[in-house]
Structure 1
């Protein structure tokens, strides 16, 4: 079984972060390891506290994983501050870990900041150059590129700007678009290759952890040796099923259903747009 790693924060509500990643890894038949960078107090109603894990402990976690596991792919989520980002980047290079998916977690569903403002430059400088794929949503892509995304043209411009950081590819998720019927996820790589996946928009408030889950699915598929086209499609099918077959948990933005994919993958709802 392929071994993968998530470097992210803990979500006490179980819908996002480390918890979502491990559930996704399990469903996609890879063995998940973890490095916890921060502990959040949160539920479906929001985040009430964030406590960063001491840097020396993050280093010890990275060393423990790196010295005993053969990591085939990895992802980063909530990294909180510049020092953590630089430490993570150092160990990724030290252990020569490949197939890095960077989910640039910046803002929680309820609006709480999960990345210190000064850490954004560190993310761009130290981590994005190591990334196989960066997976921002539209607000995160705007923050990383400095470009307001209003249409397909500005979406591509933002992706091109992010690619200047050295990342091999960028996948701009479309969940925050204003289209009432569809969402489009747009992928662009350093060679100009692009992909667009379109899916039906599902009317629900239970979307907590969608970004974490999507990037974890990409990580699992890269670990198994799949191409970007194959990994992108599976990850999209996984999250589409997880959203559509809601668990209806909590009074706020509830978690997605990580176990839905095995039984309810809605392949007909998703297609490439050429």
Structure 2
């Protein structure tokens, strides 16, 4: 009896494409090309300083060392910057998810005058380079007495993460049937209760995705942290730049080792929450 052919659903050719030998080979080459900078970073982190700056630098660390990693944990300023990054990034993620959830729910399920204009202005504002707003934010936070505080850095990062997180969550909430909200109102729930007890649990993948994006922004930003955070509130990008890069010289092996260490939290978070991240992006990209 001939084998039964497996039926293909609509769109499966996009989500699960069938590649030939040439396609697989091309993807493998592109993948290796994309991973080359990562390998170069890791290899440099394990190399001796004299090997890194030699004319015939080896492609592999034949004499690996862990001294470069030890320099990170021996520097109290870097450890303090690590703690600051955790506080700022977690705060940015929490505030971004909360505010973006409220805004997305309002834009998706409420109808009021100026709603569409607000959405357009929100997107247009995202087109303005962040560096152009740096002076304005500096003066605003200085006048409010928030300069050189965690609050200033978190609010600045949240400002630039909201457009993407709002429209991501709005796309997901658009797909939720209005009957759910109407039934909750019949049961006597307020709008806030509906949001926190019904909407948020239903869009958990989207919230995780938005939180990851906001966390990465807070973890990797240099310019705003350098300008708005005081000497005792500096985050890792600023601390690493100050510790390892000097005029006319730079401790590149130690810097690469610090980069590996500071990249691990993001990598572990992404691996742990990957299924939420993928499903959240898919849900936000397709309405209904």
TM-score, normalised by the number of residues in structure 2: 0.22
Higher helix share: 2
Which protein, 1 or 2, shows the higher relative CO under an 8 Å CA cutoff with sep ≥ 6? 2
TM-score, normalised by the number of residues in structure 1: 0.22
Higher strand share: 1
